[in-house]
Structure 1
């Protein structure tokens, strides 16, 4: 559950993202796992769903740290937080997320999904985007 004021808007990282509505100081608790608020569904339920629902769950759900066989679906803006290898948040405690530096209003909140999802793998669209970004960063234009 998000604990700071946020909004959802187009992201330069992927689709849409979650952005700070106000300044967030380094060290601020920005998110907390709330099993009474966040939706839990059985992981086995995934295979019983329509392809559209499976795609949604694969994109937005992640394993519940305290409940094997269950997936967490955040029902607030937290589900729109995008992945990066250089996050401005820290989710290594799994049940809590903190700002690792001051975050300005309008700045996208980014996390490293592997901090709370040990089986995290990039979606194909992100793999391609990161490959292009890495090529550009290394001074090579793709072609």
Structure 2
């Protein structure tokens, strides 16, 4: 769950993105997994969803190192990938890796936390799976 105020807006990167409402100092924890808001879904459970729900969930989830899909229950699912992100993901959190201006899109490198992106060496696109 995001720990800072954010807003969704059209993104120059892809569709909709998450944007900072206020300036964010480097080192600020922006997001962390929160039980009751964010979900971990077993692969078999995800596969049991009928279409079009399964495809939509796949577009909004990432595969963690434990083999479960993580669905962010808030707007974090709209964070876009960047090869030069302004956020890092150490220890299951999202942290600003530099000062981020109000109105700036928050970006992350999917390869740092998504097993499917790591295996491909590029950001995972569920539409191509």
1:80 to 73, 78, 81: 78
CA drift of 1:118 comes to 2.1
Determine if contact 2:62/2:115 at 8 Å carries over to the other structure: no
Q: CA RMSD in A?
A: 1.9
* SS of residue paired to 2:7: strand
* Cα distance in 1, alignment partners of residues 75 and 55 from structure 2: 18
- What residue ranges of structure 2 are gaps of 5+ in the alignment? 118-122
Determine if contact 2:20/2:106 at 8 Å carries over to the other structure: yes
CA drift of 1:97 comes to 1.1
Corresponding pairs, count: 123
* Cα distance in 1, alignment partners of residues 45 and 127 from structure 2: 25
**CA shift digits 1:34-92 (9 cap, x unpaired):** 23321222211222222211211211111244xx342211111111100011100011x
- State TM-score, norm by structure 2: 0.85
Query: Structure 1 residues 94 and 58 mapped into 2: Cα distance closer, same or farther (>3 Å)?
Result: farther
Aligned to 1:105: 102
Q: Which has the larger radius of gyration?
A: 1
* Cα distance in 1, alignment partners of residues 33 and 45 from structure 2: 21
Query: Structure 1 residues 125 and 43 mapped into 2: Cα distance closer, same or farther (>3 Å)?
Result: closer
Moved over 4 A (4+): none
Query: Structure 1 residues 60 and 124 mapped into 2: Cα distance closer, same or farther (>3 Å)?
Result: closer
After TM superposition, list the pairs within 5 Å mapping 1:121-140 onto structure 2.
121-123=123-125
Aligned to 2:112: 115
- State TM-score, norm by structure 1: 0.78
